[in-house]
Amino acid sequence: MDFREEYKKSMESNSPDRETIDRMKAAVMAELQNSTQNEVPEKKPLNMRRMYYAFGALAACAVIAVSAATILPNINKNNDMISEADSEISSAGADTAFDIAEDENAEVVTMEGTQDKETCAATEEILVDSEDSVHDDSAQSWDIDNSADRGNGDNTGWADSIADNVVTPDNIPADSDTTTADIATYEPPDNSNGQDFEDNTAEPWELTSDDGHGNPEAGYDTAEVSDATSDIDYDTDDADDNKSNPCTGGITETLDSTEMTEEECDTGEAADSSENVGRIIFSGKGWITYNGERYNEVNDKNGGGSIMTAYDPINKTYYYAVLNGNKLLVYDMNMYIIGAYMHE
Amino acid sequence: MQTLSLSAAESFEEVMEQYMPMVYRIAFARLGDRSDAEDVTQEVFLRYFRTNLNYNDEEHRKAWLIRCAVNCAKNTASSAWNRHRASGEMLENSDDPENEPAYSDCEEQFEKSERRISVLNAVMKLPEKYRTVIHLFYFEDMSVAQISAAVGAGESTVKSQLSRARRLLKPLLSEEFPGEVVF
């Protein structure tokens, strides 16, 4: 038996007849006509899909708008803070010398808080007297480094580091004929050049010259101020040596400022409290500027040092600044630590 | 959705006229049921019109229709309704000329050509996938490569299916036809 032939014959006998073929063709054509007529209802899902897209786009825009409205003010605020900090830094950089002078003035005044008004009044006379002789004072050997008002205001640390040859009220050499209990009447025997410095007071503004730089006369005058206070530290042992004396300028240039000193003396402690503060500016970006120096924030908040008052002119807030070497700890007025910073 | 223009409808009717019996037979060989075969045939030609492919030649068109018929028949066979229908029931019904229209139509010819009915019954007892390759190979005279392309299986798979189908058919046909069966 040939399976192929037999199978073909059997399948041909089961092929659709004419009636079946026409029925299927009619059904197919009718289905096609129905499908073409049903095109519009089939578009409904597409319209819904478009609506979903539209609503999705609107929702996304709304989210973006809300986010922008929430974030932009903060960004602008931060930008303002940064610009203010930059301006402060630039201005601080421009006025660095002046600021330092002011700070040192304030510190000197603080150190000499026990000074009476008579001393202030006598300052002008001393300076006037010394006007003619100051140029001849090249032999003076005031120890600026150990001077009481060298400008750092750090009396505690400074007092600990006083060398043995530094004359202090408690450390006046026994063989010195100038050592008396009344320091205010002390007159340097060798380097006074006949000037009477006993009533001289420190003139803080004399620490700087007119050009804003450190005044080489600072040591000269501040040493005299030390005479009037109990914090004398000029080196009497070195008085006769040939150390270079920075006091080569004219003290007369400071006479105008002497009048200011009197005014400050009149104001008393108010002037001390208002000027004996550092300037601190928070950038809001992890670093601050303190007296024009940039400090970067660090995590180590331990440590100690000399406590000073700092003022934030932007926020108009006072802080305590504890400076120890390059490390600066900032506390609020309740002594809660604000942050630790390291000099850049 | 494309509209049915007059020329397209004419050409579509020509295609249906030419290939509808072939598609119907493929579906019937797979499903063993006339109504299912008609449904599959209509579905195939609806797809043919909707896809609106550009065919290179008539062989390409024929190959597409064969493959579409095989796939549609396979989908229909694997539908929920057909899965719940026992294949034995289908075969049992196909054996009963009273219940099966296809065989009732052939009843007159059954006496004249008992062998053809016996061959068809034997093929319908094969598994569905074997019936398709047997039909394409012996009725449509397609090669193994063409069958593999039509059913989406490898040529080795088609060869093994043909071999197994013949092995199954042999005892069935030898009962009805004593002597050697030539495949």
Of A11, A15, A24, Cβ closest to residue B42:
A24
Q: Is the CB of A36 less than 8 angstroms away from the CB of B119?
A: no
Cα distance between residue B44 and residue B40, in whole Å: 6
- Bridge partners of A342, per DSSP, are A296, A327
Mean local confidence (pLDDT), A257-285: 57
Per-residue tokens: A74:
């903060």
Q: Is the CB of A10 less than 8 angstroms away from the CB of B120?
A: yes
For residue B172, list chain A residues with Cβ-Cβ distance below 8 A: none
Of B20, B135, B183, Cβ closest to residue A21:
B20
Per-residue tokens: A301:
């908040």
Q: What is the pLDDT of residue A100?
A: 54
Q: What is the pLDDT of residue B110?
A: 55
Q: Which of A101, A115, A121, A130 is nearest to A250 (CA)?
A: A130
Which one is predicted more confidently, B7 or A138? B7
Of A10, A23, A27, Cβ closest to residue B117:
A10
Residues of B with a Cβ under 8 Å from any A Cβ are 1-4, 9, 13, 16-17, 20-21, 24-25, 28-29, 38, 41-42, 45-46, 49-50, 102, 105-106, 109, 113, 115-117, 119-120, 123, 134-135, 138-139, 169, 173, 177, 179-183
Please provide the distance, in angstroms rounded to a whole number, between the alpha carbons at the two ends of chain A: 105
Q: What is the pLDDT of residue A58?
A: 95
CB A322 within 8 A of CB A335: no
Q: Is the CB of A3 less than 8 angstroms away from the CB of B21?
A: no
Where do the structural domains in chain B lie, given as residue ranges? 1-84, 86-121, 126-176
CB B98 within 8 A of CB B104: yes
Cα distance between residue A66 and residue A72, in whole Å: 10
Q: What is the pLDDT of residue A64?
A: 95
A19 to chain B, minimum CA–CA distance in Å? Answer: 12
Q: Is the CB of B138 less than 8 angstroms away from the CB of A24?
A: no
Cα distance between residue B173 and residue B180, in whole Å: 9
Per-residue tokens: A136:
């001849």
For chain B, residues with pLDDT lower than 70 are 1-9, 80, 82-113
Q: What is the pLDDT of residue A336?
A: 86
Convert the pLDDT of each residue in A139-156 to its tens digit: 444 444 444 444 444 444
pLDDT at A311 over 70: yes
pLDDT at A255 over 60: no
Given the candidates 3.40.50, 1.10.1740, 2.60.40, 1.10.3470, the CATH classification of the domain at B1-84 is: 1.10.1740
Q: What are the angstrom distances between the C-alpha of B105 and each of A132, B87, B98, B100, B131?
A: 147, 22, 10, 9, 21
Interface confidence (ipTM) of the complex: 0.82
Which one is predicted more confidently, B166 or A210? B166
Phi and psi dihedrals of A309, rounded to 5?
-90, 135
Q: What is the pLDDT of residue A160?
A: 47
Closest A-chain CA to B16: A25
CB B48 within 8 A of CB B68: yes
Closest B-chain CA to A12: B25
Closest B-chain CA to A27: B42
Q: What's the mean pLDDT when you consider all of chain A? A: 65
Cα distance between residue A59 and residue A64, in whole Å: 9
A49 to chain B, minimum CA–CA distance in Å? Answer: 19
Q: What are the angstrom distances between the C-alpha of A75 and each of A69, A87, B67?
A: 10, 18, 65
Coil, strand or helix: which one is A292?
A: coil
**Residues 6+ positions from A181 with CB-CB distance below 8 Å:** A169
Neighbours of B12 (CB within 10 A): 20
**Residues 6+ positions from B131 with CB-CB distance below 8 Å:** B29, B30, B32, B123, B124, B165
Neighbours of A145 (CB within 10 A): 13
Q: What is the pLDDT of residue A301?
A: 82
pLDDT at A60 over 70: yes
Q: What is the pLDDT of residue B182?
A: 83
Of B1, B46, B117, Cβ closest to residue A28:
B46
pTM more than 0.80: no
Cα distance between residue A225 and residue A170, in whole Å: 17
Q: Is the CB of A14 less than 8 angstroms away from the CB of B106?
A: yes
Per-residue tokens: B84:
């719940």
Coil, strand or helix: which one is A231?
A: coil
Where do the structural domains in chain A lie, given as residue ranges? 3-36, 99-271, 274-343
Q: In A95-206, where does DSSP find H-type helix?
A: 96-111, 117-130, 155-160
Convert the pLDDT of each residue in A176-202 to its tens digit: 444 444 444 444 445 444 445 445 554
Domain B126-176, CATH 1.10.10.10 — does that match?
yes
A46 to chain B, minimum CA–CA distance in Å? Answer: 14
CB A199 within 8 A of CB A228: yes
For residue A1, list chain B residues with Cβ-Cβ distance below 8 A: 115, 173, 177, 179-182
Convert the pLDDT of each residue in B72-91 to its tens digit: 999 998 876 766 664 444 44
pLDDT at A14 over 50: yes
Cα distance between residue A200 and residue A137, in whole Å: 16
- The region that residue A44 occupies, defined by phi over 0 for left and psi between -120 and 50 for alpha, beta otherwise, is alpha
Kindly report which listed range (A30-39, A221-230, B119-128) carries the lowest average pLDDT score. A221-230
Q: Is the CB of B173 less than 8 angstroms away from the CB of A3?
A: yes
For residue B24, list chain A residues with Cβ-Cβ distance below 8 A: 15-16, 20-21, 24
Residue A192 DSSP symbol: S
Q: Is the CB of B138 less than 8 angstroms away from the CB of A3?
A: yes
Residues above pLDDT 90, as percent of chain A: 8
Q: What is the pLDDT of residue B165?
A: 94
Residue A284 DSSP symbol: S
Question: SS3 for chain B, per residue?
Answer: CCCCCHHHHHHHHHHHHHHHHHHHHHHHHHHCCHHHHHHHHHHHHHHHHHHCCCCCCHHHHHHHHHHHHHHHHHHHHCCHHHHHCCHHHHHHHHHCCCCCHHHHHCHHHHHHCHHHHHHHHHHHCCCHHHHHHHHHHHCCCCCHHHHHHHHCCCHHHHHHHHHHHHHHHHHHHHHHCCCCCEC
Convert the pLDDT of each residue in A91-130 to its tens digit: 776 665 555 555 555 554 444 444 444 554 445 555 445 4
pLDDT at A323 over 90: no
Surface of A (22-51) touching B: CB under 8 A: 23-25, 27-29, 31-33, 35-36, 39, 42
CB A229 within 8 A of CB A111: yes
With vertex at residue B132, the alpha carbon angle to CA B129 and CA B135, rounded to the nearest 5 degrees, is 150
Q: What is the pLDDT of residue A94?
A: 62
